Amino acid sequence: MKQIIREWARELGFDDCRVTNADPPQSANQFVAWIARSWHGEMGYLARNGDKRSDPRKVLAEAKSVVVLATSYAPTHPAMPCGASSSSARVPLPGSLTGVVARYARFTDYHHVLKEKLVELAKRIDQLGGPGTRSLWYVDTGPILERDLAQRAGVGFVGKHTNLIGRRLGNWIFLSEILTTLELPSDESERNRCGSCARCLAACPTQAIRAPYQLDSRLCISYLTIELKGAIPEELRPAIGNRIFGCDDCLAICPWNRFAREGALMKNSAQPRLAAPDLLEFLGLDETAFRQRFRDTPIWRIRRRGLLRNVCVALGNAGDASVLPALRKAAEDIEPLIAEHARWAIDRILTRGT
């Protein structure tokens, strides 16, 4: 049955499919300690569902197996050489008016892309198991420790940057899972293969990776530009550079990316317009224009106020005097969050004298 499921997954376009049992992940205690440190920041949903994350059978009663699926969003161009950055965001050049969007967000929202395939696969698993079989699917949304389950299933291993690394797919992976009451034989787990490499720690612009396998989300640029709903701490704004949604530096630097390959499912969902977005164009978006442009992308989740907040920071770091008129207009925006960050950007440019 496992081989049949794997063939179905390949037919539906997934790049890897492996199975583990529904036992609690060994890292559950580490997760509890991470929450106790408040390193999850304002992501309160992580703490609220802590008991479920520690045991998949509290998510689906009588779950026996977890089918873990990987979908590659690797770029079409050859893998970055070791030591290369994913963008010019680390040291923005004065006058640069383009922003950087994390690679995973340069597609139609992956939740939408993968949903149909997961619904179909879960339905087939239920039919394969027969009467009484129940399956529940998630794509980055369920209260489960998906990276730990993926390592136990053999999809990859959790690296020092706390993300999953696949030996065959590199860092550019979307994970999804199907919890099922159907009992399937488990695949062999993957062991950690980071070795002495610490490139990801050195690459982090804010030192959010406090130590190997220890991420303080409150310092992470992905958290600051996506999960944080309020003002970005002023002391962290310069390190954001011209990133406006997420950060790839710790992922892009990983040498395992030399094995990454383009995935079939995401290939036709690319959004080329997000490869090098025009910061001034984004700053001029009203609510209607924002909705029309981003409704089907991951950027939708931070809404206009979050995106323009980030754009103001990027312009403050990378802009020159030519962007001041646009920033002064933004400083009068009806949304206080945008206005405050625009004023900061104006002050930063004037202080820099460019």
In 3D, which of 245, 237, 168, 247 has the Cα closest to residue 200? 247
Confirm whether 187 is a catalytic residue: no
Determine phi and psi for 76, rounding to 5 degrees: -75, -25
- Who contacts 307 (Cβ-Cβ below 8 Å, separation ≥6)? 244, 245, 282, 285, 290, 294, 299
| Contact between residue 19 and residue 65 where contact means Cβ atoms under 8 Å apart | yes
| Contact between residue 39 and residue 218 where contact means Cβ atoms under 8 Å apart | yes
Cα separation, 4 vs 341, in Å, equals 53
SS3 of 131-154: CCCCEEEECCCCCCCHHHHHHHHC
H/E element, 100: strand 100-101
In 3D, which of 320, 317, 314 has the Cα closest to residue 353? 320
Catalytic entry in 51, 140, 278, 347: 140
- Who contacts 173 (Cβ-Cβ below 8 Å, separation ≥6)? 70, 71, 72, 73, 155, 156, 164, 166
Query: How many CA within 13 A on the CB side of residue 24?
Result: 13
- Partnered with residue 173 across adjacent β-strands are 72
In 3D, which of 226, 249, 252 has the Cα closest to residue 239? 249
**R_g (Cα) of the chain, nearest Å:** 21
H/E element, 126: helix 110-129
- Partnered with residue 58 across adjacent β-strands are none
* Residue 305 burial (CB count, 10 A): 19
Cα separation, 150 vs 20, in Å, equals 8
**Residues involved in catalysis:** 140
